[in-house]
Every structure is written in C-alpha cells, then in structure tokens.
C-alpha cells in the first residue's frame, strides 16, 4: 500500500486543434485517389481501347492467335464471329475451319507467320 503513488488528472489545455475541415485531412485520401487513377484505372482503359481497336480491325486473310492458343488464318468475318482455318505442322489436319468469337482473338500475327496452312 505504501508503494503505490497517487494518480491525479491532468489539467485541460487550450492548444487542442479546433474541430472542422482542414486541408491536411484531405491530402492523403486525394493523393491515394490520384495514384489509383494513374496506376490502375487509366492503364486498364488504355488496354481495353487497344483490344477493341484490334478486334474491330480484323479482316479476311489476317493471321491470328486465339486465347486458347490456336493459330489460324481468318476466312470470314461476321459481326461477332470469325471463321478461321487451322492446320497442323505435320499436315494431317489442313483445311479445318473453326468458328470462334471475335473476343477470343489474343493477337494478330505478322503476315507469313503461319506457313503450314
């Protein structure tokens, strides 16, 4: 009982910050929003625009690779679908035509990439 000292409340000070709006309180959230826009949202929009332009520019005779890994030459283009001719390197399945969605095209290849078809 003699070893414990008494604890007294501290007097209130008048230097405390006044409640309300301050620019410092909004700086960090605003900075985070700007960072998210430039690091996440803007690159995603740019990539989507490039993909849409690639899909809109597809035409007969172009060589493409699908998202599933198929290589083929476009024979026919419709509003939503493509008819591509695929073939094997060994030559056993030449002339096989497949209908795929335009959105399944991953990339357009340079002319002459596919020599087996």
**φ and ψ at 5, to 5 degrees?**
-90, 160
Of 89, 54, 51, which Cα lies nearest the Cα of 71? Answer: 89
Q: Which SS3 state, helix, strand or coil, does residue 112 take?
A: coil
pLDDT in tens, the chain (117 residues): 567 777 787 776 655 555 667 788 889 999 999 999 999 999 999 999 999 999 999 999 999 999 999 999 999 999 999 999 987 555 556 678 999 999 999 999 998 888 755
Q: CA-CA distances (angstroms) from residue 16 to 53, 68, 82?
A: 58, 64, 69
For domain 59-109, give its CATH number from 2.60.40, 1.10.3470, 2.60.200, 2.30.30. 2.30.30
* pLDDT given for residue 109 in this prediction: 93
Q: Are 56 and 108 in contact (CB under 8 A)?
A: no
């Amino acid at each position: 009982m003699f070893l414990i000292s008494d604890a007294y409340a501290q007097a209130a000070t008048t230097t405390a910050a006044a409640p309300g709006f301050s620019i410092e309180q909004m700086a960090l959230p605003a900075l985070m929003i700007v960072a998210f826009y430039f690091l996440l949202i803007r690159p995603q929009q740019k990539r989507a625009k490039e993909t849409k332009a690639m899909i809109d520019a597809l035409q007969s005779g172009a060589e493409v690779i699908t998202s599933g890994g198929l290589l083929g030459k476009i024979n026919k283009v419709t509003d939503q679908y493509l008819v591509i001719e695929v073939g094997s390197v060994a030559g056993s399945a030449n002339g096989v035509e497949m209908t795929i969605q335009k959105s399944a095209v991953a990339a357009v290849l340079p002319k002459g990439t596919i020599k087996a078809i």
